[in-house]
């Protein structure tokens, strides 16, 4: 069993809900998932020691939040090369945040990112059966690539 960190930012709880559903998918695929707010991390070492990483942030003002930018600079201090990764976020109309985070994980950290790309979900569908399934499937796409 491997250990996956799902670290997220969320102002009104939508991206947090996505994080919890993604964790369910990871657990269904046989692995452990920790779901934590990015504000819980103050030092790079606290992010270390996971086998895979899924980062999430909503889009505000066509951007990720300032807190997520700080968190990504913190994660830069780790060696994440080759580790499995994914990125997600809730939005209403433009949804830039998740693909931007996904790109940073792929091109800067050189992680092995899920074939599904970034998971951007409109906030209105997160609490539906389809929204929950999309998140669980996303978690499974990370989990099934990890050796048990």
* 19 in Cβ contact with 8 (< 8 Å): yes
> In the complex with ligand FMN, which residue's Cβ is closer, 77 or 92?
92
Q: Check residue 39 for interaction with ligand FMN (CB under 6 A).
A: no
CB atoms within 10 A of CB 43: 9
CB atoms within 10 A of CB 67: 14
42, 43, 49, 61: which one binds ligand FMN (CB under 6 A)? 61
Choose the binding region for ligand FMN from 30-38, 77-85, 87-95, 136-144 (rule: CB under 6 A): 87-95
DSSP 124: H
* 54 in Cβ contact with 5 (< 8 Å): yes
Choose the binding region for ligand FMN from 27-35, 66-74, 86-94, 138-146 (rule: CB under 6 A): 86-94
Residues that bind ligand FMN (CB under 6 A): 10-15, 58-62, 90-95, 123
């Amino acid at each position: 069993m491997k250990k996956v960190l799902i670290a997220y930012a969320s102002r009104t709880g939508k991206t947090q809900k996505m994080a919890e559903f993604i964790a369910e998918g990871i657990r269904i695929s046989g692995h452990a998932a920790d779901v934590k707010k990015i504000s819980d991390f103050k030092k790079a070492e606290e992010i270390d020691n996971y086998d895979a990483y899924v980062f999430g942030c909503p889009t505000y003002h066509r951007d990720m939040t300032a807190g997520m930018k700080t968190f990504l600079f913190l994660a830069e201090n780790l060696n994440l090369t080759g580790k499995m990764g994914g990125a997600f976020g809730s939005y209403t109309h433009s949804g830039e945040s998740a693909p931007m985070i996904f790109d940073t994980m792929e091109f800067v950290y050189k992680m092995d990112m899920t074939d599904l790309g970034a998971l951007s979900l409109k906030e209105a569908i997160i609490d539906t059966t389809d929204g929950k399934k999309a998140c669980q499937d996303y978690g499974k796409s990370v989990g099934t690539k990890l050796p048990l």
